[in-house]
Amino acid sequence: MNNNTRVLLKRRCEGVPQASDFEITTSTIEQPDDDQLLCDTIYLSLDPYLRGRISGRHMSGSIAPGDLMAGEAISRVVETRHADYDVGDIIAAHSGWQSNPVVAGSEARRINPDVGPLSTFLGILGMPGLTAYAGLLRLGEPKPGDTVLVSAASGAVGSLVGQIAKIKGCRVVGIAGAPGKCAWVTDVAGFDDVVSYKTGDLREGLDRSCPDGIDVYFDNVGGDTLQAAMERLALGARVVLCGLMAQYNIDEMPPGPNPAFIIKARATVRGMVVYDHEDLRAEMVDNVSQWLRDDQIQYLEDRTDGLENAPEAFCRLMQGKNVGKAIVVVGRE
Ligand code: NDP
Cβ count within 10 A of residue 127: 18
CA 205 → CA 176, 193, 195, distances in Å? 11, 10, 5
Ligand 1 proximity of 75 Cβ (cutoff 6 Å): no
Task: Kindly report the protein residue whose alpha carbon is nearest to atom 32 of ligand 1.
Answer: 243
Considering the entire predicted model, what is its pTM? Answer: 0.93
User: How far is 124 from 157, CA to CA, in rounded Å?
Assistant: 7
Q: What is the largest CA-CA distance in the chain?
A: 98
What is the C-alpha separation between 191 and 149, in angstroms, rounded? 10
- Could you tell me which residues are beta bridge partners of residue 22? 9
Kindly state if the Cβ of 156 falls inside 6 Å of ligand 1: yes
Name the packing angle between helices 156-167 and 127-134 (round to 10°).
40
Centre of ligand 1 from the C-alpha of residue 67, in Å = 24
pLDDT at site 252: 84
Rounded-to-integer distance, Cα 158 and Cα 162, Å: 6
Cα within 13 Å of Cα(197), Cβ side: 20
User: Which regions of 134-231 does DSSP assign to beta strands (E)?
Assistant: 147-151, 171-176, 193-196, 214-219
* Cβ 47 under 6 angstroms from ligand 1: yes
Q: Tell me how far apart the alpha carbons of residues 191 and 194 are, in angstroms, rounded to a whole number.
A: 7
3-state secondary structure of 305: strand
> C-alpha distances in angstroms, 117 versus 111, 125, 126, 190, 240?
10, 9, 11, 21, 29
Taking a C-beta distance cutoff of 8 angstroms, is the pair 48, 243 a contact?
yes
Residue type at 148 in one-letter notation: V
Q: In this structure, how many other beta carbons lie within 10 angstroms of the beta carbon of residue 293?
A: 9
- What spacing in Å lies between the alpha carbon of 44 and ligand 1's midpoint? 17
Burial of 166 by CB count in 10 Å (0-12 exposed, 13-18 middle, 19+ buried)?
Answer: middle
- Residue 151 CA: nearest ligand 1 atom is 48
pLDDT confidence of residue 60: 86
Pocket test for ligand 1, best of 245, 247, 266 (most atoms within 8 A of CB): 245
CA distances from residue 90 to 44, 75, 281 in whole angstroms, order as listed: 13, 6, 61
Q: 3-class DSSP state for residue 218? A: strand
With 0-12 / 13-18 / 19 or more C-beta atoms within 10 angstroms meaning exposed / middle / buried, residue 5 is middle
What's residue 223's pLDDT?
Answer: 95
Contact residues for 268 (Cβ-Cβ < 8 A; gap 6+): none
Question: Cα dist. 72→103, 160, 245 in Å?
Answer: 12, 19, 20
303 residue type, one letter:
R
Assess contact for 234 and 215: CB atoms under 8 A: yes
Instruction: Report mean pLDDT in 10-residue bins for the chain, 333 residues.
Output: 91 93 96 98 95 90 96 97 98 97 97 96 95 96 98 96 98 97 97 97 98 98 96 97 93 87 93 91 95 96 95 93 94 93
DSSP string, 232-255: TEEEEEEEEE---TTTTT-SSPPS
Predicted local confidence at residue 1, as pLDDT: 57
CA angle 290, 292, 296 (to 5 degrees): 100
Q: Is 123 in the pocket of ligand 1 (CB under 6 A)?
A: no
DSSP state of 294: T
